[in-house]
Structure 1
């Protein structure tokens, strides 16, 4: 297997990325790492051929470290520097988006970002689409070479693609413990020529000899944020005993190949169709994995060994949901078990106002609400009714000509209106769907099924002549708030 892969014609990256998220953990006492010491600790990675580094705006001084690395020790042309922008929930201005990109450029001492990976907290707030469209404009200006996503689920990755956003990658958790990407993400990425950048493949070090035949730790006794996070994944997949069975199977395969458990765990993910690379974390100056990373590239798994691993995985409880759900809905599989160390609150997606007789209106801000005299949604007492909603956002039709993507965005808009009125999608008791083309009924129904499978409201679907040729589907809902 090659040690590198093309994300795009002008961006070739290592198949083993060096992740620098643990810099933030190392600096959690408020003391920044010495930039020169940390940068020089990364130099052996480069010399060994691991030239791609993965960072984010919130990974402590990680961006500053790689800036120092290429300014003092290595020519930038030999490196690929990937970073992320994780804005707070809610609306930000176009100017703020450019300022965020410029901040990363300044920290890394660059004129253009190789890859900027974007994270959205709340799909029900269409601000995430505004931010992606603005990032695309900055790409056209030359500040960004390529756009990637991080922690996006399948439906919203597809929605962004169908809306014309040029995306080359999606970075998600994908490991032996977390097989969510195999449900639909990998197939979508192969369809659109996108690569999955997989993190968590060694589960914060749990998939290693260190924990083989060891007693189960208390989560509060664990030393790093990564260990606390991935202990929650282990708990979701079943018992510590079942996890030990997985480790024992990996240990047997690893011993036969004279490699480590972590090598086998990462190699299994790297061999999945659609995976571009795996990301292995480094604690600069304290914990390096250069030789171990090389063994991942040099190792291969036979069909028999893959079947052995798959058989053990069948004994695990699958992590529920789609990629990235751990950051958007319970159970929050984060270091703290909630979002407290990520964000403070979620602002309402839409403005509200109190009307006559105490009813509350949610307004999405379209010109048609004033022209035609209606609200996106109205709450009176414990009842909420949401107007017929199409895939309109500003001047754009979200989802392009794909009926499922339009439907998912419509549900997002409706969910945003419900959130603004103190409600949620689970409160919906009736949906009415109007479709233009009868042949689109199944993808639209399946999109409805994905979002409402555990809610199961009363539903009606009919064919109708919708206003606006570009709209393939429209939906209205009713909700009851306890």
Structure 2
């Protein structure tokens, strides 16, 4: 057995442990209102760091996790090889001005007690609100100022990570759910990482502890006390249920016995051997449940073709987790600890405000603030009774910024987000769309926009016309208009 965890490079010069210690359990420990002892908890983190587990992952909403990490970092001062503290900023959608973003970063700096954040990971709740691009631009400037060493994102699907990269934003990592139960990240997202060099940080790799010998051959739990298992029981149910999960545990057990390791080791090793994965985040209940010795076994074996054949057979009996990475926070089925998040999403303010058309009953319109609408005298969208018509929409961000110049697929993703926001403002959704018209500047670039269109409308299947028009005003690659009808209540 190796005595230290493997390390790898993230970004330009972050040397990270391939097993990151996740501190989300601090929020669970503190959920009764009793805070952890900061110095005692920092002492437990010091034990991890001394054993080579030098990289810690936390967030602004993980209780006092940042404060605990700050106590640990204070013990090391300006040491070049001090432990690394990765944190997340998860703001509510709204205008992402420079002042808002700077304040969010400064709070992280203050709580960690550092002058520069090692990795600031940005989470965004709904891409219908375009403030995420503003936030990442401001974060990039703060990185240039030296307040952030590297920028990551969390729970971004492949399409929106693609948009960020097409905007030349310096994103080095994406933290997503990735396990033998939830294998979404092994597909399109990993393909994008292979092309761009972005690395994945995988969480949920042990499904809250369900991926272990202690659950093999056991009935499904009737009651679950901690948030982590509440969440991952939902993933297990979505992946085919407890019976299919037991088949998977048995397969993992078969492989584990071959190598003399644990089921948890095999489950984690499968994720670690995915080329796009920089590291896996394994949670620790500080002072209660620590598995450092067992985790070190991860680096003493590798899966072979026979092992993978056993696991693939179990995977074949499972259902794929719906959607793409991060969808569990943005659309049904909501696979989170608290379940249905629709009430949270409904409270997020729309970027558009419909107004009645003067002198015309039962008609409303909305504007986006681009330079084109007042110039040409049209509305971004109109609602006439239960019918909604969305004008030709381009990848214009704010008043006049062209998103992802030259990248038709990225522009299509951004355009469809704008269209979705317009429909939402009128009380509709993409599910109500009955017709789309796609105008392409270059007919040879049809495949990317078609893929982006299919990601949104693959189950809805509206009528569609796609045209090559030779040239679009403003030099855009794609323009899209839609019609939607809201079914009577």
> What's the CA shift for 1:137?
1.4
How many Å separate the matches in 2 of 1:43 and 1:344? 42
Match of 1:300 in 2: 302
How many Å separate the matches in 2 of 1:470 and 1:199? 40
> What's the CA shift for 1:183?
2.0
Q: Is it true that 1:153 corresponds to 2:157 in the alignment?
A: yes
Contact 2:440 2:478 (C-alpha < 8 Å) held by counterparts: yes
Q: Is it true that 1:447 corresponds to 2:452 in the alignment?
A: yes
Q: 1:158-198 CA distances to partner (integer Å, 9 max, x unpaired)?
A: 01100111110111001000011122111100110011111
Q: Is it true that 1:143 corresponds to 2:139 in the alignment?
A: no
> What's the CA shift for 1:343?
6.5
> What's the CA shift for 1:94?
2.2
Out of 329, 337, 349, which is 2:339 matched to? 337
* C-alpha RMSD over aligned residues: 1.7
Match of 1:89 in 2: 93
Cα 1:208–1:29 change in 2 (3 A) is same
Cα 1:469–1:350 change in 2 (3 A) is closer
Q: 1:391-432 CA distances to partner (integer Å, 9 max, x unpaired)?
A: 111332212311111111111111111111111111111111
Match of 2:252 in 1: 250
Contact 1:349 1:419 (C-alpha < 8 Å) held by counterparts: no
Contact 1:355 1:361 (C-alpha < 8 Å) held by counterparts: yes
Contact 1:430 1:478 (C-alpha < 8 Å) held by counterparts: yes
How many Å separate the matches in 2 of 1:106 and 1:215? 46
How many Å separate the matches in 2 of 1:71 and 1:149? 26
How many Å separate the matches in 1 of 2:215 and 2:343? 27
5+ long unaligned stretches in structure 2: none
Match of 1:241 in 2: 243
How many Å separate the matches in 2 of 1:282 and 1:256? 27
1:54-65 matched pairs, under 5 angstroms: 54-65=57-68
Contact 1:40 1:73 (C-alpha < 8 Å) held by counterparts: no
Count of aligned residue pairs for this structure pair: 480
Contact 2:158 2:324 (C-alpha < 8 Å) held by counterparts: yes
Out of 231, 234, 237, which is 1:232 matched to? 234
1:36-435 matched pairs, under 5 angstroms: 36-72=39-75, 77=80, 78-218=82-222, 221-339=223-341, 345-356=347-358, 357-358=360-361, 359-394=363-398, 395-435=400-440
Q: Is it true that 1:6 corresponds to 2:34 in the alignment?
A: no
Contact 2:253 2:263 (C-alpha < 8 Å) held by counterparts: yes
5+ long unaligned stretches in structure 1: none
> What's the CA shift for 1:340?
7.4
TM-score (norm 2): 0.95
Contact 2:212 2:249 (C-alpha < 8 Å) held by counterparts: yes
Match of 1:458 in 2: 463
How many Å separate the matches in 1 of 2:76 and 2:451? 53
Cα 1:338–1:59 change in 2 (3 A) is same
TM-score (norm 1): 0.96
- List 4+ stretches of structure 1 deviating above 4 A: 73-76, 340-344
